[in-house]
Amino acid sequence: MGYATVFVGLCLLCALASTEAQFNCSSQSKCSALIDYQAPNKTTLGAIKTLFGVKKFYNLLGANNLGISTPPNTTVAENQTILIPFMCLCANGTGVSDNVPKYSVKAGDSLDHIARDIFSALTTYEEIARVNNIAAPAYIIQPGQHLWIPLPCSCDLVDGVKVVHYGHKVEKGSTLEIIARRYGTTENTLLRLNGMTNSSELLADQILDVPLQACSSSIKNESLDTSLLLSNGTYALTAYQCVKCKCDAANNFTLQCEPSQLNSTHWKVCPSTQCEDSSLVLGNTTGGSSTCELKTTCAYAGYNNSTIFTVLANSSTSPSPSPNNKAGSKMGLQILSWNFLFVTVHLVFLCLCLSQ
């Protein structure tokens, strides 16, 4: 059969535990998603970027909140977890990575080795075979063949709220309660999203769909980055690398953007980011010296091929939710409850100010 690799040992494979995950996804649009990758061996950030086909190295840095100047040869230790950012596509009720990563088959590879060892069991050999139209039971692959490695993801709203769906690899000894508390969601939400009836079904190394609250923004619908969505503790470069935006729970989950001070990938010089009819430029703030005074910020509103859009946005200086993603950032009804409380507090402050 030459260099062909025949995937055999089906009885052995049937005995192995599977951690295959399929995330429900009915959205008609693509979105950004995250997934855990546990490096099987010592490697580098640059090698991980290449393995997963991450378009820009900055995307990998932003997903892991690493400094922009972090070099690609930065060491990643064995078993260290790195968050992988990728685009998600919904089809037939489930979400998968949008034709990435692509893996080039090497001599001696099998689909199970590729899924289990190279890609840290983020998918299964059955899923790889399915999306690449590789017939069972032989599962024949050839050296040099390029395979699409499907990663689980979703773009669906959660209780009517936009979120970043995160494929969390469950650690040994973890529980739904621990995961829910850590990522600001609820056990019931995790059960529902992952098709589980009770918490005892949770398995070590399972890829769990965890919804992360995303920062709100002033980005226009017509902007080229209208789908930009960031979760707490992450950042992204946008507007042809002229703007850096970050999400911080301590800032009331409102997107914060500023000039990146980097060279543009499109323009010779980045366009002006000054807000119209104001001396403020992107990221600058005025006011808010007391709890009764609104804070005005020159906020990012998107971009097109010629312009970076900005807008003056007002916000309160009332205390923000705790950045540890506890009660203030719960999903579903808890988010609605917090928003109601937040608005009520603002109205109380306003009444006090008017009475002075």
Task: Label each residue of 141-199 as H, E or C.
Answer: ECCCCEEECCCEECCCCECCECEEEEEEECCCCCCHHHHHHHHCCCHHHHHHHCCCCCH
Spatial distance between the Cα atoms of 23 and 264, rounded to a whole number of angstroms: 36
What pLDDT does 355 receive? 46
Residue with structure tokens 């979760």? 231
Residue 312's pLDDT is 96
The pTM (predicted TM-score) of the whole model is: 0.83
What is the per-residue pLDDT for 292? 67
**How far is it, in rounded angstroms, from Cα 19 to Cα 325?**
27
Question: How high is the pLDDT of residue 346?
Answer: 45
**Cα–Cα distance, 202 to 207 (Å, whole number):** 10
Q: What is the pLDDT of residue 333?
A: 35
- Residue tagged 């990998």 (tokens): 60
CA 348/CA 296 separation, integer angstroms: 20
Is the four-CA dihedral 178, 184, 187, 189 of positive or negative sign?
Answer: negative
- With a CB cutoff of 8 Å and minimum separation 6, the contacts of 210 are 165, 166, 167, 168, 179, 183, 185, 190
Q: What pLDDT score does 232 carry?
A: 97
- Please identify every stretch of the chain with a pLDDT value under 50, giving residue numbers as ranges: 1-18, 320-356
Q: What is the pLDDT of residue 341?
A: 42
Residue 335: the pLDDT is 32
